[in-house]
A = this chain, B = another copy of it.
Amino acid sequence: MEKTFVIGIDIGGTNTVYGVVDARGTILYSGSIKTGKHADIKDYITELGKGLEIVIDQVGGHEKIKGIGVGAPNGNYFNGCIEFAPNLPWKGRIPLAQLISESVGCIPVTLTNDANAAAIGEMTYGAARGMKDFIVITLGTGVGSGIVIGGNLVYGNDGFAGELGHTIIRRKNGRNCGCGRQGCLEAYTSATGVARTAREILELRTDESVLRDIDPDEITSKDVYDAAMKGDRVALEIFEFTGHMLGEAFADFIAFSSPEAIILFGGLTKAGDLIMNPIRESMDKNVLKVFAGKTKLIFSQLKESDAAVLGASALGWEAKEID
């Protein structure tokens, strides 16, 4: 029987989303589970396996599935493990590809970084079609990146290249990051970083803001967005601060690989011009002269959940059965 479908799984710090995808890139059936509520990896795999079996049945059973592609934080393309992922509940080295494969009758599984999967999705179906050199920056619970150079994803010597959320943007007095260090880009420009900025500004300043109506510990980046859309000055400044930092960082990324485009992906991109304008201004101001005006700054053209699942699913076509 011809194997005509693949499965894409996107594992985020909060949610795990999966879907069955056909050869034209259509997601036929999908589902999701909460990533964070399973402190034990076995419980997580059990619940995920149940969900996968449902969508597998919907397209006609295991025989129809060519392979499974997984995008996960700190996912290693070379060995199928997630290793030391700061935003996931499981510590150390987890053989995730193997565990998922075993949970669904040994369908072959290929794993990569969730941001790399997004970059593959963008290259196959989105804003990076036809591009050979680009960087996808994912602005979600964390800040991830998928780097494509000469048409190939950059995996590096160990499979973990492209951790641009953990380059240092503030070397002095930097915020603590989930990775155990200080001053990482992620600590400032992830969705949670934006909420931290809000709490910091509200505590340091006394000017009015609709954000003061919210319990500081409960403020989210969505609250900041809603306030900014109402013209709240503090909320607008939070996006400016966040965007300026991203622009500074992007100027350094451009000095590394001189990409045709940097593509923004993930929850924070819903802020649109509120985040894009300060990024562009700061990137233009900070970039080395030889690169001025050369790198496009664009939003992902794919729906967030679709892109991650589609990108991961693309890996499913190259998944090989274990001998």
A residues adjacent to B (C-beta < 8 A):
74, 83-84, 132-133, 147, 149-150, 152, 154-164, 166-172, 179-181, 248, 251-253, 255-260, 286, 288-291, 294-295
Contact = CB atoms under 8 A, between A and B. Distances in A.
Q: Which of A158, A181, A251 has the most CB of B within 10 A?
A: A158
The 3 closest A-B pairs by CB, nearest first: A156-B258, A161-B258, A157-B260
A281 to B, nearest CB: 16
A181 B288 contact: yes
Given A133-B156, A172-B172, A288 B256 contact: no
A257 B161 contact: yes
B258 A168 contact: no
A184 B284 CA distance: 16
A290 B74 contact: yes
25 contacts: A84-B290, A132-B157, A147-B256, A149-B156, A154-B256, A155-B258, A156-B258, A156-B259, A157-B259, A157-B260, A157-B295, A158-B291, A160-B291, A161-B256, A161-B257, A162-B258, A163-B255, A163-B290, A164-B255, A166-B255, A170-B171, A171-B171, A181-B288, A252-B252, A253-B256
